[in-house]
Amino acid sequence: MIHTDICIIGAGPVGLFAVFEAGLLKMRCHIVDVLPQIGGQLTEIYPKKPIYDIPGFPDILAQDLIKNLRQQIDPFQPTFTLGERVESLAKLEDESFILATSEGTQISCKIVVIAGGLGCFEPRKPPIPNLEKYESGKGIQYMITDPEKFRNKRIVIAGGGDSALDWTNFLADVTSELVLVHRNESFRGAPDSAEKVLELAKEGKIKLLLNSNVNKVHGENNLTSVSIEDKDKVETIYETDYFIPLFGLTPKLGPIADWNLNIDKNAIEVNTLDYSTNIKGIFAIGDINTYEGKLKLILCGFHEAALMAQSAFKIMNPNKKFTMKYTTVNGIETF
């Protein structure tokens, strides 16, 4: 059992900044995210996309913003459970909460902060029959958490975005055989990454199949091969140990929808006084909440995190007088 003051669901920029605001008030945080790394959409979908509306930065790459946020919260020693989804929430008689994840991790806390962006991210799966047969360690994966797993293995990657390109470039020297399949002639990802992939194909280090799709998967118990169809409808079977479709992520509210929160069109209704929900002790900040005048901007989420932390402090310390202290005067006091 993990014990903490605040459990934050979502390791995107707003969830990370909430750690800073809570830390200033001497509250410890544990962050849970279904993705294998922090950063949410900024890391998973567009790490090299410039962001222009963060105060003090005329422009900053998404991945650099996450790097800076991590550095900012490090003094407050947050802990993390990554690659797991919060499945259930129970409120106890003493007003505390117990959360359980998809992998059985349990977290005890006084405050729950839902900062899951647009919800839990789930992989976009290609419309291929029997995919589920080879999931759960049997040859089909939608995320790469441990590259060493593929050392000296045969793999087929499908996709044309940054994730597919970056992993192809990285795994070219790890795998024994690597096939990259993309349904179009050109890539959606960063031009420099695409150039590296084309160079690897030219050197014979990978096999690149454009204007093609994986349309079948084969194997008795584990995946052993896939069928790839080209633009002329010619089908070829490739033996493989792993098939990794990297088509991005799709947001879903997930199990949060069953927690008796007030929800409007897949978003959680909050009180703009402090971004609390209809359940005392549960807050929702960032893109996952809704209220009149809501703007889905990172900087607005930062504002919501600050007000949330003030209210959370009062819940945790009902008999303690709170005095607002400015960091410009007192600096950063760690635990």
Q: Tens digit of pLDDT per residue, the chain (335 long)?
A: 999 999 999 999 999 999 999 999 999 999 999 888 999 888 876 777 788 889 999 999 989 999 999 999 999 999 999 988 899 999 999 999 999 998 899 999 999 999 986 555 678 899 999 999 998 889 999 878 678 899 999 999 999 998 899 899 999 999 999 999 999 999 988 898 999 999 999 999 999 999 999 999 999 999 999 999 999 999 999 999 999 999 877 666 778 888 999 998 888 999 999 999 999 999 999 999 999 999 989 999 999 999 999 999 999 998 887 677 667 656 777 76
Q: Which two tokens stand for residue 134?
A: 């080879």
Show which of 213, 247, 281 is a domain's final residue: 247
Q: Which residue, among 215, 154, 162, 217, has the nearest Cα to 187 in the 3D structure?
A: 162
3-state helix, strand, coil in the chain (%, to 5): 25, 30, 45
Q: Determine, yes or no, domain membership for 23.
A: yes
pLDDT at 142: 87
Q: Which two tokens stand for residue 18?
A: 């909430």
Question: Helical H runs in the chain?
Answer: 13-24, 41-44, 62-73, 162-171, 191-202, 298-316, 327-330
- Residue 200, CB half-sphere, CA atoms under 13 Å: how many? 24
Number of domains in the chain: 2
Q: Determine, yes or no, domain membership for 18.
A: yes
Show which of 185, 220, 247 is a domain's final residue: 247
Task: Give, rounded to a whole angstrom, the gap between the first and last alpha carbons of the chain.
Answer: 21
Domain that holds residue 19: 2-122+250-330
Do 78 and 13 fall within a single domain? yes
Separation of alpha carbons 239 and 217, rounded Å:
10
